[in-house]
A and B are shown apart, each in its own frame.
Chain A
Amino acid sequence: MLRYLLIRVLRAFITISLVVTFAFIVLRMSGDPAVSIMGDDASAAAMEAFRREWGLDQSIWMQYFLYIAAICHGDFGQSMRGGGSALELVLSRVPATVMLTLPALLLKVAIGIPAGIYAALHRDRTIDQGVMVAAVAGYTIPSFVLGLVLVQIFAIWVPMLPTGGTGSLPHLILPVVTLGVGGAAILARFVRSAMLEVLGQPYIRTASAKGIPWAVVVRGHALPNAAIPTVTIIGFMVGNLIAGSVVTESVFSWPGVGNLLVVSVAARDLAVVQCILLFVAVTMVLSNLVVDFLYGVLDPRLSSGNSTAGN
């Protein structure tokens, strides 16, 4: 178990290093970093200071190390548009994103899991097919289309809710629904197939043949075993929260990190862009690690600490 976790931590570290390297390479390839980060109209003195700090006059390896050092200090450069530290700007937007994505996550789980379980238990009947069609529709419809359709219906034709922006509970409803539907659909499909796979196992048939009531079999055997892969995918969704919210935040002009990313990309505000890139990487990696840990705890095959069974 400990070795299992150690390997996962190592992989997480490698992923982050790769993202940092990726950012570094892309930054260097796109032109003079001083101009990219500070903008064309920064003063010559400021540029010089920047160059010295980032070691742009030194060897590429030195630059690489200085870059890593700067990032570890949280120094991604100044935001070109607003001034001020890029990191601070990004962090200031996090609460807004959380306010959006957390309820959305709850929505995904609250709808997706029961739907998936229900569909699996009533396989191939109308309900199952209905759920599956709805699920396919749910994740095929791009979030911007769904968001705009919802806005059109609920904010324009029937002006119940605001079209965008933030400030009150009604503002929250449409964005959360938009964000939640796609994930709910994916989760429903996944839970359904996980349940189906578990239900097809011989031990389920044995339990039922022993005379145990079906509801108890499902609750005691099927659900816990299907929970393990489900936890993984929920963890993946958590890690993907920011990426998933990019489009929705743009549709609803929601002032979160995703929106900031789009705006910064359009304005070529590279300091902010690389900051968000790393921020996303770190959140993804951390949530994956938490999932790995939970997996190790939940899955008895891993937590029994068998060293004889090779990985």
Chain B
Amino acid sequence: MSVIQTLGEQIADKAKRSSSRPIPLPVMAGILWIALIVLVAVLADWIAPYHYTALDLPNRLSGPFQPQHWLGTDELGRDVLSRLIYSVRISVVVALGATLISAVLGTTLGFMAAHFRGAVEHFILVLVDFQAAMPFLILSLSVLAFFGSSLPLFIALMGFYGWERYARVARGLAISASAQGYAGAVRQLGATPRRIYLRHILPNVFSTLIVLMTLTFPEIILMESSLSFLGLGVQPPMTSLGNMVGYGRDYMKIAPWIMFAPAALIVMTTLSVSLLGDWLRDRLDKGLQ
């Protein structure tokens, strides 16, 4: 119950505080980078010089810093910069979709566990423990082995990453809300469960969920990159950042730029989101003290 109180305090005071406390430089840089990435993902069709499958065989494996191909070309003459831009879009879309699926799935299950208690709650908690105990990489590799790597399936699979974290948080906050607090009071007023959860509990849980999402998002990008790197994630002709690194690896000796450009992008992006998430969590923690 005190968590909700202080969370609420934090939210209520945010308007007062946010203007007075400056954002540290690295976090600011991270935010700008993320904004850039989002922009690139959205505007891919307009800013990419070529389509990501456009071939330019005479110029294959040519180095970066040329006017025609700023980041060089790969083994099929495809423009690395364009492929990078489209990869950003695909990786971001996959990670965003997966994060949303995971958040909705986890929060819903968490609320259900808190609302129904009893056997339903036990079952969901068992699932939570299971998901938390097993390494996601191994589980997803197993599923991919059995079902193959089509994109919708892959996004759905990624959507299971981290749901247990949302479930635990949602359940905990919902339980403390219903027991003594405002949710119990509103139920007593005669509100339907739907109203209680949607109008009261969810908005109060929201800020924690957002923080969780910013923390999980880079992890999903990493997971997708790793799987694509191994050749088991996003499949050609679609291109993703991990994908590019994986296929670019074969040409490491003669054309390292094919591999480095996407690798650098992955690092910058996950670093930025991590910094942002850490900072958000720090601020939330300070509010809880």
Contacts and interface: CB of A to CB of B under 8 A. Distances in A.
A and B touch in the complex (CB under 8 A): yes
A302 interface: no
B129 interface: yes
Interface size class of B (residues with CB under 8 A): 35 or more
Interface residues of A, number: 51
A191 B93 CA distance: 35
Contact of B225 (A137, A142, A251, A284): A142
Given A148-B252, A152-B256, A243-B135, A26 B146 contact: yes
A223 interface: no
Contacts, number: 125
B232 A265 contact: yes
Contact of A14 (B126, B138, B242, B266): B126
Nearest to B278: A136
Nearest to A141: B267
Contact of A145 (B126, B146, B232, B245): B245
Interface string A238-263: 00101110110011000000000110
- Interface SS of chain A: helix
Nearest to A163: B252
Contacts of B274: 136, 140
B232 A262 contact: yes
With a 10 A CB-CB cut-off, give which of A29, A143, A246 has the most chain B CB atoms.
Answer: A246
A274 to B, nearest CB: 7
A105 interface: no
B129 A247 contact: no
Contacts of A142: 222, 225-226, 229, 266-267, 270
Interface of B: 26, 126, 129-130, 133-135, 137-139, 141-147, 218, 222, 225-226, 229-232, 242, 245, 249, 252-253, 256, 259-260, 263, 266-267, 270-271, 274-275, 278
Q: Which 8 A-B pairs have the closest CB atoms?
A: A243-B135, A30-B146, A265-B145, A273-B145, A145-B263, A18-B130, A140-B270, A140-B271
20 contacts: A11-B129, A15-B129, A15-B134, A19-B130, A22-B139, A30-B147, A36-B146, A136-B278, A140-B267, A141-B270, A144-B245, A145-B263, A145-B266, A145-B267, A148-B252, A151-B252, A156-B252, A251-B249, A280-B138, A284-B133
